[in-house]
Each structure stands twice: as structure tokens, then as C-alpha cells.
Amino acid sequence: MHKHHRPLGLANSQDGARGGVDIAKLRPVQPVTLLRPHAARRAARFFVEKFLGRSIYAVKANPSPDLLKILWDAGVTHYDVASIGEVRLVSETLPGAVQCFMHPVKAEETIAEAYFEHNVRTFSLDTLEELEKIIRATARDGVAATDLNLLVRIRVSSDHSRYSLASKFGAEPAEVKALLMATRQAADALGICFHVGSQAMSPAAYAEALARVRSAILEASVTVDILDVGGGFPSVYPGMEPPALENYFAVIHAGFEALPISYSAELWCEPGRALCAEYASLVVRVEKRRGTELYINDGAYGALFDAAHVDWRYPVRLLRETPSKTRSAEFSFFGPTCDDIDQMAGPFELPGDVGTGDYIEIGMLGAYGCAMRTRFNGFGMTESMIVEDEPMASLYAGSKVRRSNVVKL
């Protein structure tokens, strides 16, 4: 009797799955997500041990409860949440975790639930309106809360980053002085935060942002207790090989030490991608080849949203029983849905004889890939497997791990 809607052969293959090569041998019909807990654990320990401050995981990058538990066990105790759904998830999954509500625009009811029901005390804001909303929502019987950590988000450049976050949030320079002064009056601890954009390719992004922080503090003449440099810490992708993360940490720490802030001020960061990108990859099957276009069984409405909509290039490798001797070529992908925008231009480099029935592993999908999957058009069903091999790229093994784009089974 056939078992529909599951990758064939995976139900009894939990033991001995060391990597994508083992999964491809089973000829799965649906995409298979490969999970690497050891990679996420290593990344978490790297930040905990090397960043001279508090590392706060950005839950939006991958809200998997299993991943949250891995990061917690590796020493990550604080979590950046952006919605009441994420607040509830972290409360349920990690009751002892400290949550920081770092989305600058929130519903008043959401603030109240986070504060009174989930013990959230840290909130970000970028307008006086949001400050007033937080004060109202956390007051009890007309008495304002006295235990709030309030971080003013200032707008900084995303010029050094692959994906800009400079247009939606952040107080403008002309607004910062009044906002800092007003927030100081309402906060037990006053902070400043910013975000340089996703996948910052140079430590200069943080140096320039910290210069803006310094100007803001001097102009407002307030005592600052927390500096949160946000996320943006890069991972390795094709065409994007950033400097070592230690270089970023050194620039941030030097800039922090030079700021006119409280002697007991805390330094925070919000890694998302950097903690979870290597946690997952995806094994897909080629259903058709048309020239240099490969039709695969996952795409823009699945784990490859960024590849389709922001032209993100992911590392790929061919999983084939007989290794190819054909020269590599550049391919684009079509996903499985009926939609024309379900296309990933890449280019993705694979052996030139890749074709129907072949399996491809697409790496670095632990960040935003699995989190953005939908079931549009009836697709999106996958099975997950824990594997033991290394991800296709790494910044955490002392030197960058590199993998060939052809793997022998």
C-alpha cells in the first residue's frame, strides 16, 4: 500500500543519516529539510564566548522550538521578539528566557500582554507616540511602570549591507534629542539601538553607526545604560565572503568603549542569521530541465523566498551516485507552483549534466528559509532529518569550511 504525502523511504531512516548523500540515496519524492543541531550550537557558543556583551537571538530568523532549545542549552538566554506570537512561543518553549520586544511599532494590547502576562520589560521605540503607548499599556491603576528598559531606535545607513533595513524604522537625527530626553524620564534603563541591515559585508557599518550614536548622546546629554548594535552579522554565501566575525566584534567593542555612557552600561547585539543559517539545508529533486533552467520541487513559496525576491544566492551541490566529470555551468531554478514569479535566478553553479531525477542540496537555509515556507498551490510539505555532516559554509570552525558542488554517494 502506498503512503502518500511523505518522502519515500524516510520513515525508517532516522539512524545513520550523516548528510545529504544518505538522504538522496532514498530517492525522496518531496523536499527534505536537513537539520544540523551541532552547527547551531557551535554558532551560539561562538557568540556567547567571543562577543563582549549580551547576544540576543532574533527569533524571526527561525522560530523553531527545537532551535530555540538548542540555543538556550548553548548559553543564549535572551531573545529578540517582534510579535505577540513570538512572545507566546518563547514563553512556552523557554519559560526562563528574557524577552526583548524590539519591534518599534506595537499594538497597545500587545504591549500590555507582553508586560503583564509574559514579564517582558524591554521595549524599543522610534517615536514619541510609541513611547506614550508603552507608558499607557504598562501602567497599573494609573501608576506608570518603574521597571522598563526602553531603547530608542535611531536610523542608520545600510550602505554596507546586502539587504537594507534603513527605510522603515528608526528616528531621524532631528527627532532623536527630544525622544531620548523623553524616554529617559520614563525608563529605568535607557538604551539606544540600531540596525545596519542584513548581511553587513564590512565592520565599517558598525563604526559608522556608532559615530551616530555618539553624536546623539552628546546632543541629548542623557545617561545611556544599554547599547544594542542590532543584527546584520553576516554568514558565507556564494559571492558574499565577509571578513571574520571577530573583526566585527573588535570594531563594535572599540566603539562602545569610546562612547560617553554610563560606567555600568551594557552592550547587546541581536544575531539572527549568524546563529541559524547553518542549522538547515534542503534536498530537492530536479523534475525537469529546460536549457539552463531547472524545475525543482521547492521554490519561492517554500524555503527559497529570498532567492526569488531579493536574488539571494545559496550554496548548492549535486548529490549523485556516479560523480559527474562535466564542467560546471550556471543554472536558474523554477519552483513547483503554477506561478511565474516562482523563479530563482541565481545563478547556481552545478555540473553541466545535471538533469531530471537528480538531487541537489541547497545550503544555508536555516535563516529565513524554513521560517517563510507556505503551502501555496498545495506544495510545501517536507520532512526533516537530523544529520551530522558540516554545512556547506562556516565561519565558526576556525577557518571557513568549503564544500565542492559535487558530492559522491
Question: Is the separation of the CB atoms in 194 and 156 below 8 Å?
Answer: yes
Total number of residues shown for the chain: 409
Range in 19-28, 91-100, 259-268 with the lowest mean pLDDT: 19-28
Per-residue pLDDT averaged across 183-191, rounded?
98
Q: At what angle do helices 108-118 and 84-93 cross, to 10 degrees?
A: 10
Q: For the segment 290-314, what is each residue's pLDDT rounded down to a tens digit?
A: 999 999 999 999 999 999 998 899 9
Q: Grid coordinates standing for 93?
A: 518553549
Q: Where are the domain boundaries for CATH 3.20.20.10 in the chain? A: 37-276
Q: What's residue 404's pLDDT?
A: 33
Q: Grid coordinates standing for 349?
A: 553553479
In one-letter notation, the amino acid at residue 223 is T
State percent of the chain over pLDDT 70: 92
Q: What's residue 8's pLDDT?
A: 40
The answer to whether domain 20-36+277-408 has CATH 2.40.37.10 is yes
Q: Where are the domain boundaries for CATH 2.40.37.10 in the chain? A: 20-36+277-408
Question: Is the pLDDT confidence value at 397 over 60?
Answer: no
Indicate the average pLDDT of the chain. 90
Q: Which residues pair with 240 in a beta bridge?
A: 237
Question: Is the pLDDT confidence value at 398 over 60?
Answer: no
Range in 11-20, 21-30, 214-223 with the lowest mean pLDDT: 11-20
Asked whether the bond before 242 is cis by omega within 30 degrees of 0, the reply is: no
Q: What's residue 160's pLDDT?
A: 86
Phi and psi at 309, nearest 5°, equal: -100, -20
In one-letter notation, the amino acid at residue 58 is A
Q: What's residue 320's pLDDT?
A: 86
- Which residues, in sequence order, are CB contacts of 291 under 8 Å at separation 6+? none
Q: Which fold has domain 37-276?
A: TIM Barrel (3.20.20)
Q: What's residue 9's pLDDT?
A: 41
Q: Grid coordinates standing for 22?
A: 544518505
- Please state, in angstroms and rounded to a whole number, the distance separating the CA atoms of residues 119 and 246: 33
Per-residue pLDDT averaged across 4-32, rounded?
66
| Residue 234: burial class (beta carbons within 10 Å; 0-12, 13-18, 19+) | buried
- Please state, in angstroms and rounded to a whole number, the distance separating the CA atoms of residues 329 and 64: 35
| Residue 383: burial class (beta carbons within 10 Å; 0-12, 13-18, 19+) | middle
Q: Kindly write down the DSSP assignment for every residue of 365-383, as one continuous string.
A: -TTTTGGG---GGG----E
The DSSP output letter for 30 is S
Question: Is the separation of the CB atoms in 361 and 317 below 8 Å?
Answer: yes
Per-residue pLDDT averaged across 223-250, rounded?
95
Q: For the segment 46-86, what is each residue's pLDDT rounded down to a tens digit?
A: 999 999 999 999 999 999 999 999 999 999 999 999 999 99
In one-letter notation, the amino acid at residue 326 is T
Per-residue pLDDT averaged across 168-196, rounded?
96
Least Cα distance to 361 among 393, 401, 338 occurs for 393
Q: For the segment 310-350, what is each residue's pLDDT rounded down to a tens digit?
A: 889 999 999 987 788 899 999 999 999 999 999 999 999 99
How are beta strands 359-362 and 316-320 bridged, if at all? antiparallel
Question: Is the separation of the CB atoms in 375 and 296 below 8 Å?
Answer: no
Q: What's residue 399's pLDDT?
A: 36
State percent of the chain over pLDDT 90: 78
Q: What's residue 137's pLDDT?
A: 98
How are beta strands 393-394 and 343-351 bridged, if at all? unpaired
Q: Grid coordinates standing for 184?
A: 529617559
